[in-house]
Structure formats: structure tokens, C-alpha cells
């Protein structure tokens, strides 16, 4: 095309006849020639080379800590990004994505995006804390740098790169599920415990209520509870008692009538029991009480209602990104609770119910909840932890602190 223009321009240039004087080049054509010539590179020169970034990620350089991963516990991911190019990679996007191999209804995958700058011919370690409350099972993590899905509508621009096929890494994460039978959240011992306050004899019912505690880190189940006295006895067995502060109540029927003031001895898992559970401490397994209740005293409700006391507040809710609510729930009780139901409702009455994989006793649990179905900019969401009418609700005596409202941005 350029050659054609030059030929056209040349044909319009001056010509000499045998008897004619030389004619001048018109000003417009002369200006056009000058403009075209300034755009042409000098003869013998090549197009200037523009250096590109050359980033790489390797799954062998992805690390997770602490291990092993446990449901409900935070962890961190460290990725090493290498720039083998001669120019720095300025403000390139970095994406972390974690999802379950088998996602269940209501599951919310983890997604975090950021921008990083990797100096030329250097490497950059990036550590990302993950406070998402993952349930147990197999998960996949993808890390990508300077590479985004084709359908991603992101304002972050990519840096020119010849080959981005090595800009991503994948790793399989195994998250240990919450185990109601073992826990390292309390000292490592096997121990059943009763105190005089845990024994309530009821002469009118001819039975004794006994409350058994488990301060150890291993679940207890089918422990014998034996009540003896002068020519009377009774025995019952506990249900499963969760570790780290769990309790169980049994009612021991007595084989002979007893009166107010009768002396009783109560034992749980007696040390000389033929098939008893070996314990680290038998000193707290036996108490002596006098039968009968004080005038006007009533048998209190089971202490299992005090094992759980969930609480949520507006300050514990945030929206790290659109359609995602990150909620921190506290448990003022003593027992760990797995898959605690939580309900979210907007001002129009729409609601969803999700579950927090683990809320530690005397601790907390964090979960991300996908609330796009309820999202109304400027609207209000109401969060209720452990709803009383939920299918898998936990027994709880104090529900005054179970609800919080949050204004959407």
C-alpha cells in the first residue's frame, strides 16, 4: 500500500519536456511525501524489541500450614511466584480459589484476589491467611498469577506475556472433619468426673439423678453409674459424653425405698469395675451425699442446656465481597459444636439456612455464607445462630444473644 502511494505521488511529480521548463511540486503533495517518509524506519534497522514478563507458578512451591488441616480451623497458603523476565511484573492479578471436591447444598467456595509486583529476574513469596471455616473432606486449591478466566469481567489488566500456561498451580487439600469423639482443645487425658452438686436424690421418685462431666479429650460412653446405700443399690449407664466439658445425665432407679437423709454413695466408672474404662484420674469419680431435697428446692434443668451458648453481633459480620457474608459466631458454653445451623433473612422474608462447621467451646467459629439470593443493596439482613426451630438445633438456655442485623452496602 505504501509503495502504491509512492508511485501515485511520483506520477504527480515534476516532468520535463524537450522544450518545456521544469514545473514545481505542489505544496500538498510535498507535505504528504514528507509525512510518509518520517513514518518509515531507517533502512537496515529492525523493529525495537519490547521485553515481556515471564511469570511461573509451581505446585511444588505451594505450602500449607499448619498441618494437618482440621475443619473449623484457620490456616495459611504460601505461593512463590517467579519472574524469569527482564522487566518487573507490576500490579499483576493473583487469584486464590478453594472449593470442595464434592460440594454440598449451601457450600461457599473460597475466593481471594489481589495484585502483586514481582521484580525482574526475582521471586516473590505471597502468604495468604484463610479464615474460612471449611468442613471436612477433599478440597482443591487453584492459584493463578497474571491469568484470569476468559469469562472473568475484572478491571485488573494483565501484563503482556508470551506464554501463560505455567502461570497456575493446583493442590489437593485434605481437611480432617470435626470428630465428636476426640479433641485436642483440652488437656490430653481420659477422665470422668462428678461432684456433690451433680447428685440429686429424689426419695419420692425412688431415683437419683446424676450428672457426669467429661473434662478429658476423648469421648466417654456407656459408663456405669452406681448408687449404693444401706441395703439399697441401683445402676444406670451414660450416653455418649463429648470431650472438653461435655456432660450427660442419668436417672438411677433404686431397688429399695429410701428416705430423706439416707446416706448414699455415688460412683461413676468405678476403678475396680471389670469392664471399666481406664482413666488417668479416679479421685473425682465418687461422692457421698444425703438423700432428699431442701424445702422448696426443685430439680434444675439438665446442664446440657449450659453446654452451648451461641452469640452473634453486628460487629461480627462483614462482606469481603459482593454476595458473601463472613460471620464470626461465639460459643460461651463449654462444648464444641459441629454444623451449627445459622439462618439469614432479608426484609422481604426471604431466607436461607446454612451451617457453621465448628464453633469451639469457650471460643468461636467463622463461616462464609453466600447470600446473593437475599442481596438487596442498602437492605438489611437478620442473622440467627442456632434457630430454635431448626432441624439440627442445639439445646440452649440463653437465646437472647442469638440474633444480629446487618445493613448491606
Q: Does the pLDDT at position 10 exceed 60?
A: no
Range with the poorest average pLDDT among 2-6, 148-152, 313-317: 2-6
Matching residue, cell 458473601: 324
Half-sphere exposure of 334 (CA within 13 A, CB side): 18
Better-scored residue on pLDDT, 9 or 132? 132
Q: Output the pLDDT for position 24.
A: 53
**Closest to 186 measured CA to CA, from 161, 208, 213:** 213
Mean pLDDT is highest, among 152-156, 202-206, 214-218, 383-387, for 383-387
Domain range 306-407, CATH architecture: Sandwich (2.60)
Is residue 299 pLDDT above 60, yes or no? no
Give the contacts of 169 (CB within 8 A, at least 6 positions apart): 57, 58, 59, 61, 62, 79, 142, 143
Task: Return the ∠ at Cα 125 (arms to 123 and 128), rounded to 5°.
Answer: 155
Per-residue confidence (pLDDT) for residue 393, from 0 to 100? 83
Topology agreement, domain 196-294 and domain 306-407:
yes
Determine the average pLDDT of the residues in 143-147.
Answer: 90
Model confidence at 314, in pLDDT bands (50, 70, 90)? very high
Most confident of 87-91, 285-289, 400-404: 400-404
pLDDT, mean over the chain:
80
- CATH class of residue range 55-149+165-176: mainly beta
By three-state DSSP, how is residue 403 classified? Answer: strand
Closest CA to 304 of 238, 367, 352, 217: 238
What pLDDT sits at residue 9?
Answer: 45
Over residues 133-158, mean pLDDT: 77
pLDDT-derived band at 351 (thresholds 50, 70, 90) equals very high
Long-range contacts of 158-166 (CB under 8 A, 24+ apart): 158/92, 158/93, 159/52, 159/53, 159/89, 159/90, 159/92, 160/50, 160/52, 160/53, 161/52, 161/53, 161/54, 161/55, 162/52, 162/54, 163/54, 164/55, 166/55, 166/56, 166/57, 166/58
Q: Name the residue ranges covered by the structural domains of the chain.
A: 55-149+165-176, 196-294, 306-407
pLDDT of residue 379: 93
pLDDT of residue 39: 45
Cα gap 291→263, rounded to integer Å? 6
Indicate whether 310 pLDDT > 50: yes
- Give the percent of the chain with pLDDT over 70: 78
Give the architecture (CATH level 2) of 196-294.
Sandwich (2.60)
Beta strands in 270-372 (DSSP E): 286-290, 310-311, 317-321, 324-331, 337-346, 351-359, 363-370
Is 90 exceeded by the pLDDT of residue 125?
A: yes
The DSSP 8-state label assigned to residue 199 in this structure reads E
Please tell me what DSSP assigns to residue 258: -
Question: Which of the four pLDDT bands, split at 50, 70 and 90, describes residue 398?
Answer: confident
CA distance 64 to 112: 16
Amino acid at each position: 500500500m505504501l509503495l502504491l502511494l509512492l508511485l501515485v505521488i511520483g506520477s504527480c511529480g515534476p516532468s520535463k519536456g524537450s522544450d518545456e521548463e521544469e514545473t514545481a511540486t505542489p505544496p500538498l503533495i510535498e507535505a504528504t511525501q514528507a509525512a510518509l517518509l518520517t513514518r518509515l524506519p531507517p533502512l537496515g534497522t529492525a523493529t525495537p524489541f519490547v521485553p515481556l514478563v515471564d511469570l511461573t507458578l509451581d505446585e511444588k512451591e505451594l505450602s500449607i500450614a499448619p498441618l494437618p488441616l482440621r475443619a473449623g480451623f484457620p490456616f495459611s497458603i504460601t505461593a512463590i511466584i517467579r519472574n524469569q523476565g527482564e522487566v518487573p511484573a507490576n500490579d499483576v492479578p493473583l487469584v486464590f480459589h478453594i472449593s470442595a471436591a464434592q460440594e454440598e447444598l449451601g457450600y461457599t467456595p473460597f475466593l481471594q484476589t489481589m495484585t502483586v509486583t514481582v521484580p525482574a529476574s526475582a521471586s516473590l513469596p505471597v502468604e495468604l491467611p484463610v479464615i474460612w471455616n471449611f468442613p471436612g473432606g477433599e478440597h482443591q486449591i487453584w492459584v493463578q498469577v497474571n491469568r484470569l478466566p476468559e469469562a472473568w469481567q475484572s478491571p485488573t489488566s494483565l501484563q503482556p506475556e508470551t506464554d501463560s500456561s505455567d502461570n497456575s498451580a493446583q493442590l489437593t487439600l485434605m481437611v480432617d472433619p470435626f470428630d465428636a469423639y476426640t479433641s485436642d482443645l483440652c488437656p490430653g487425658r481420659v477422665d470422668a468426673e462428678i461432684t456433690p452438686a451433680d447428685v440429686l436424690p429424689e426419695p419420692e421418685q425412688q431415683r437419683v439423678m446424676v450428672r457426669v462431666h467429661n473434662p478429658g479429650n476423648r469421648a466417654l460412653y456407656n459408663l456405669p453409674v452406681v448408687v449404693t446405700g444401706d441395703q439399697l443399690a441401683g445402676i444406670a449407664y451414660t450416653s455418649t459424653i463429648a470431650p472438653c466439658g461435655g456432660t450427660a445425665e442419668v436417672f438411677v432407679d433404686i431397688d429399695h425405698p429410701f428416705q430423706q437423709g439416707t446416706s448414699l454413695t455415688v460412683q461413676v466408672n468405678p476403678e475396680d469395675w471389670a469392664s471399666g474404662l481406664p482413666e488417668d484420674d479416679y479421685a473425682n469419680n465418687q461422692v457421698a451425699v444425703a438423700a432428699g431435697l431442701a424445702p422448696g428446692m426443685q430439680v434444675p434443668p439438665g446442664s446440657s442446656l449450659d453446654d452451648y451458648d451461641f452469640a452473634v453481633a453486628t460487629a461480627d459480620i462483614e462482606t469481603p465481597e459482593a454476595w458473601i457474608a463472613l460471620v464470626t459466631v461465639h460459643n460461651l458454653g463449654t462444648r464444641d459444636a459441629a454444623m451449627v445451623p445459622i439462618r439469614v433473612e432479608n426484609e422481604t422474608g426471604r431466607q436461607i439456612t446454612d451451617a457453621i462447621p465448628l464453633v469451639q467451646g469457650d471460643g468461636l467459629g467463622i463461616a462464609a455464607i453466600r447470600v446473593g439470593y437475599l442481596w438487596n443493596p442498602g437492605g438489611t439482613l437478620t442473622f440467627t445462630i442456632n434457630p430454635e426451630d431448626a432441624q439440627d438445633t442445639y439445646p440452649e438456655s440463653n437465646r437472647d444473644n442469638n440474633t444480629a442485623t446487618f445493613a448491606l452496602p
